[in-house]
Amino acid sequence: MNFLILLLSSAISIVCGQDRVITAKLNPGCAECTSANTLVYIKADSSKDSIHQLWDFTGGIPTVVFALTELNSTMQVKWDRQVPVKFLLSETPKYCFAIAIDKLYEYNDVEDKGHISPQCEQRPMSLKYMSWTLVDSVLSDKEVMVRVHGQYKHSWRAGVVDVKLDLIPFYDYAAELPRLIHTANSTLVDVGLVNITTSKDYNSSRFALHMLLVSTDGWGETMHYTMRKSLDDEHTPGVFEIIEIKTPESYVKDDGGYIQFRPVGYTEPKREVSSSTSVRVSPLKKSAVPERSTLERFFRDFETESLLVQDVFVSIGLTGDQFYRQHNFTSWSFTMGYGSPPLETFSLFVIMIISIGLGVPLLLALSGVVYVVISRIRQRNSNQPTRFTDEE
Ligand SMILES: *[C@@H]1O[C@H](CO)[C@@H](O)[C@H](O)[C@H]1NC(C)=O
Ligand SMILES: *[C@@H]1O[C@H](CO)[C@@H](O)[C@H](O)[C@H]1NC(C)=O
Ligand SMILES: *[C@@H]1O[C@H](CO)[C@@H](O)[C@H](O)[C@H]1NC(C)=O
Ligand SMILES: *[C@@H]1O[C@H](CO)[C@@H](O)[C@H](O)[C@H]1NC(C)=O
Ligand SMILES: *[C@@H]1O[C@H](CO)[C@@H](O)[C@H](O)[C@H]1NC(C)=O
């Protein structure tokens, strides 16, 4: 039964052909770009369609856009010096989904709740004014990865926002904790806040990320927050919950955008169970795309009514953890993707446990039945002569 589930799920993944052929370019068509400009364009083709991805840091606000089109479509980026101003798709996309981390919020958590609330004193830090430097990249047909460091150049706030984006075009668990599942339809995002200077007038500083989610579902709709319990925590020890935020299209028909993550963050660069902390998201609210942003430029030609824009706060921390200054580090990961969020398959270990768990009682029950039957037969056999003799 359990082997069947495993077989079935791997068969499904093979039949559906999750793998895509990827091609990636850094700053395509930009003559004046330097290492201070990072815009990655990726085309990921299946046998039926293409997903175009933009990973943009040129406008300060880290932005990832997914656009689903027919095969053989192209995207061209028009630049004004080092600013991407137009994104020309050769056809109208069937669906688009985008996320942006537009702000960090520093908040004074005097009640030590571990998450931001409207009652806290808080200070937004727009990432629009952040400068991003490319520190690592892989642009191959097996993997596309960039790592960038964001810093405020002219601010009293020192420290680094470390962002890594990674596309590996097949189904597997990520190497690092919390070992999220990546597929050909999704991109892994890691965000770290390293040595960020906190405000002098706050004695209980924490940080929260402010994220925007945009999709080409209608303006009047809403994204859906769901929490599932996984069956085992083998990949992410101690964490059984999986959280997803799905666009209406993904929620209803499994062909929209989603983000998926586990409610766990880390307080040290080396991710371990001992350095894990909790993550909490706020309810989703209606929002708007920031002015003069890549999001605005990308979605300029869409009707306002056809765009759903919502925002959410992601707080990383835990009551009693001595606030951000204890480690001067927090990190969190999520995947964003298209289609239905990947489900974890049973591992061999769990299948063995379940099989033993079900098999041993079954065996005992069976042997009990066999024992009863045999003893009945024996009894009858040994009774028969006596009965006969009694009757005689
Ligand atoms: C896409 O282009 C390739 C080669 O250029 C061609 O063989 C294929 O038929 C095209 N597919 C579609 C759907 O137009
Ligand atoms: C953050 O600060 C720690 C301790 O001062 C230092 O070891 C580390 O290199 C810093 N990290 C970055 C990215 O600046
Ligand atoms: C921070 O300051 C407030 C008063 O301004 C005080 O009530 C609170 O205990 C202080 N918290 C810490 C962790 O020092
Ligand atoms: C974190 O940074 C603050 C200064 O911003 C410093 O006082 C504190 O000692 C640092 N903590 C660690 C663990 O390095
Ligand atoms: C990936 O996207 C394609 C749409 O092109 C869809 O058919 C497929 O189901 C998606 N895969 C997953 C795992 O959602």
In CATH, what number is assigned to the domain containing residue 188?
Answer: 2.70.98
CA dihedral 89, 145, 148, 109 (to 10 degrees): 100
Asked, for residue 4, whether it belongs to a domain, the answer is no
Residues 330 and 363 in one domain: no
Q: Mean pLDDT over residues 23-44, rounded? A: 95
Q: How many angstroms does the Cα of residue 27 sit away from the middle of ligand 3? A: 48
- Name the residue of 151, 161, 195, 326 whose CB sits within 8 Å of the most ligand 2 atoms, as the mutation to test its pocket: 195
Mean model confidence pLDDT for the chain: 89
Asked, for residue 7, whether it belongs to a domain, the answer is no
Q: How many angstroms does the Cα of residue 331 sit away from the middle of ligand 5? A: 29
Asked, for residue 247, whether it belongs to a domain, the answer is yes
Residues 341 and 353 in one domain: no
**Cα atoms in the 13 Å half-sphere on the side-chain side of 50:** 20
224 pairs with which residues across the strands?
Answer: 246
Q: Mean pLDDT over residues 185-189, rounded? A: 97
68 pairs with which residues across the strands?
Answer: 51, 95
Question: Residue 180, Cβ neighbours under 10 Å: how many?
Answer: 23
Q: Which ligand is nearest to the CA of 331?
A: 2
> What residue spans of 185-247 are helical by DSSP H?
none
Q: How many angstroms does the Cα of residue 13 sit away from the middle of ligand 5? A: 10
| Greater model confidence, 333 or 350 | 333
Contact 368, 205 (CB under 8 A): no
Asked, for residue 6, whether it belongs to a domain, the answer is no
Residues 254 and 179 in one domain: yes
Asked, for residue 361, whether it belongs to a domain, the answer is yes
Give the burial class of 221: count Cβ atoms within 10 A of its Cβ; 0-12 exposed, 13-18 middle, 19 or more buried.
middle
* Boundaries of domain holding 215: 18-345
Ligand 5 atom at minimal distance to the Cα of residue 183: 13
Supply the residue whose CA is at minimum distance from atom 8 of ligand 4.
325
- Name the residue of 48, 72, 73, 94 whose CB sits within 8 Å of the most ligand 1 atoms, as the mutation to test its pocket: 72
Can you tell me which residue has the tokens 């990520």? 174
Residues 367 and 267 in one domain: no
Asked, for residue 288, whether it belongs to a domain, the answer is yes
Indicate the range of 111-115, 234-238, 351-355 predicted with least confidence.
Answer: 351-355
Ligand 2 atom at minimal distance to the Cα of residue 329: 1
What DSSP character marks residue 93?
Answer: -
Buried b (16+ CB within 10 A) or exposed e, 50-83: bbbbbbbbbbbbbbbbbbbbeeebebebebeeeb
Residues 239 and 361 in one domain: no
Domains: count for the chain: 2
Give the burial class of 388: count Cβ atoms within 10 A of its Cβ; 0-12 exposed, 13-18 middle, 19 or more buried.
exposed
Residues 263 and 360 in one domain: no
- Above pLDDT 90, what percent of the chain? 76
Cis bond leading into 178, ω under 30°? yes
Which H helix or E strand runs over 374?
A: helix 348-391
Asked, for residue 48, whether it belongs to a domain, the answer is yes
SS3 label, residue 184 = coil
The model's pTM is: 0.85
* Residue 15, pLDDT score: 43
| Greater model confidence, 112 or 345 | 112
Residues 233 and 107 in one domain: yes
Band the pLDDT of 390: cuts 50, 70, 90. very low
Q: Mean pLDDT over residues 12-23, rounded? A: 65
